[in-house]
């Protein structure tokens, strides 16, 4: 069916498989370029793989000024997100005006 900007290739079966006959849908899959990391599937292709879109959106219609470049899942890497106050990020956070106050029985 096509390729994305990461070199992943997308396929669709020529005919519906026996298990998919109830849904009348052809099986769709991706062959990853490099490590098999599902976070490397851009949103446009994710929609097609999960039958949200009947056909992939053409490359010419995919460019928006607000669209950020796709990032893979960075969990478990040194580039992961650590919010302020996280134990691995100095463990200190600024006080908030609505900080939690424990209930005190009277």
Residue 53 belongs to some domain of the structure: yes
Residue 96 belongs to some domain of the structure: no
Q: Domain residues for 24?
A: 1-88
Residue 9 belongs to some domain of the structure: yes
Provide the CB-side half-sphere exposure for 79 (13 A, CA): 4
Residue 100 belongs to some domain of the structure: no
Residue 101 belongs to some domain of the structure: no
pTM: predicted TM-score of the whole model, two decimal places: 0.58
Report CA dihedral (61, 63, 65, 66) to the nearest 10 degrees: 90
Residue 73 belongs to some domain of the structure: yes
As for how many domains the chain has, the answer is: 1
Query: One digit per residue, pLDDT tens: the chain, 106 residues?
Result: 788 888 888 888 777 666 554 556 778 888 888 888 787 888 778 888 888 877 777 666 656 778 777 777 788 888 888 887 787 877 676 777 676 777 889 8
Distance CA 79, CA 87 (A): 16
């Amino acid at each position: 069916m096509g390729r994305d900007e990461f070199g992943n290739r997308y396929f669709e079966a020529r005919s519906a498989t026996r298990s998919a006959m109830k849904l009348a849908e052809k099986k769709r899959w991706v062959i990853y370029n490099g490590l098999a990391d599902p976070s490397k599937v851009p949103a446009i292709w994710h929609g097609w793989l999960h039958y949200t879109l009947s056909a992939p959106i053409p490359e010419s219609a995919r460019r928006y000024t607000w669209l950020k470049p796709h990032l893979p899942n960075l969990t478990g890497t040194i580039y992961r997100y650590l919010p302020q106050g996280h134990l691995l990020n100095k463990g200190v956070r600024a006080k908030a005006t609505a900080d939690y106050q424990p209930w005190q029985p009277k």
